[in-house]
Amino acid sequence: MLQNSMKQFEQLIATGEGYQLEFNEIIELFQSEGLIKFDRLEHQRADFLSGFDRFAYYNFLTKAKISNQIEPEQLLKNLGCLTANNRFTNAGVLFR
């Protein structure tokens, strides 16, 4: 795995060694540079239709003093807890 990855990545590009980054290394690179936040990543096993917990959602609305006039899907998308294809982000699993 890449540690202090941006410098190593730049070195790999500059030398043209042909090293192909693994998916996890790419994610680590972007996370280390602050380009991707863990809580914004899509959770691989959590989708809205099969895992939505209405009790947790309404409990959150009450504590945050948020009106329930917006549909849950839209509000969760606005908060960055649900992706465009209705999968929870890592932050969104709190509503599961």
Share of the chain above pLDDT 90, in %: 11
pTM more than 0.95: no
Q: How far apart are CA 92 and CA 89, in angstroms?
A: 5
How high is the pLDDT of residue 2?
45
- Closest alpha carbon to 31 in 22, 41, 44, 42: 41
Which of the four pLDDT bands, split at 50, 70 and 90, describes residue 96?
low
pLDDT tens digit string along 10-37? Answer: 766 666 666 677 777 777 777 677 676 7
| Annotated domain spans of the chain | 1-36, 43-95
Which of the four pLDDT bands, split at 50, 70 and 90, describes residue 80?
confident
Average pLDDT taken over every residue of the chain:
76
Q: Is 14 in contact with 8 (CB distance < 8 Å)?
A: no
How high is the pLDDT of residue 1?
45
